[in-house]
Copies of this chain bind each other. A is one copy, B any other.
């Protein structure tokens, strides 16, 4: 079920790099803050610091939008806010629907930042009949039966999925069929969508796991104090495991009855726990493209 495509054809030539697009909102936020303080201009250095990025990167990002700065001075805050907003398509109104009004969906509906920048919650949809009509964040929840009419009726092109994982794909299909072409998915599932539909995913579980990885690495580093070289000290190495079936560690996992959550495999598996190799740190997108 390969999810949708990831990159666009060649039409990209004139486009703005994805990495840059992902940072524009960040710049916009920093600029908005400056705007509120009536700061007239900012240098790439200052703005970069506020946005938490490298100034060269910021300048290059802006260069994709055009030459909006003034050498020797910096960038006009108001003007840049406008340009970025326009580039991101925030100068128009985007009706959004949230499907699955449970814990998360309700929280999202109540989120103020939602409507603050061109996004408007057009409707809240849930499959639970008991929820129908019930107001959440000032908006009456509507039943899934009306999903299609809501989408087409309001010209919604962005949908947020906050249903259980099991219902996500189904909801996704209906949204797409009704005309939605951009989806923000909170359910822990890989959504399959036709070409032309963008899917971005927010997965708390994955974020935590990535943090755990680094956390473990940090801890491991501390223990290996006495280790001389950092190069070749793996452990019951991969290469070695080859050849001998019997060498495979006895899995602490319960044979085939393990249902539910993954087995919390035996704690530190002997050698394993020891020094983990360290890896680059840095990061990865919290959200991934479809």
Is A133 part of the binding interface, using a Cβ–Cβ cutoff of 8 Å? Answer: no
Binary per-residue interface labels of chain A (38-56) against chain B in the complex, 1 for a CB within 8 Å, 0 otherwise: 1000000000111111100
Is A132 part of the binding interface, using a Cβ–Cβ cutoff of 8 Å? Answer: no
Which residues of B lie under 8 Å from residue A23 when comparing CB positions? 269, 271
Binary per-residue interface labels of chain A (53-96) against chain B in the complex, 1 for a CB within 8 Å, 0 otherwise: 11000000000011110000000001101100111111111101
In the assembled complex, the CB of A50 is this many whole angstroms from the nearest CB of chain B, namely 5
User: Contact check: which of B66, B190, B249, B259 meets A238 at CB < 8 Å?
Assistant: B66
B208 touches A285 (CB 8 A): no
In the assembled complex, the CB of A113 is this many whole angstroms from the nearest CB of chain B, namely 5
A281 touches B284 (CB 8 A): no
Number of A residues near B (Cβ < 8 Å) is 155
B215 touches A211 (CB 8 A): no
| Chain A stretch 137-178: residues in CB contact (< 8 A) with chain B | 157-158
B94 touches A215 (CB 8 A): yes
A272 touches B19 (CB 8 A): yes
In the assembled complex, the CB of A84 is this many whole angstroms from the nearest CB of chain B, namely 9
User: Contact check: which of B208, B222, B248, B285 meets A158 at CB < 8 Å?
Assistant: B208
In the assembled complex, the CB of A70 is this many whole angstroms from the nearest CB of chain B, namely 9
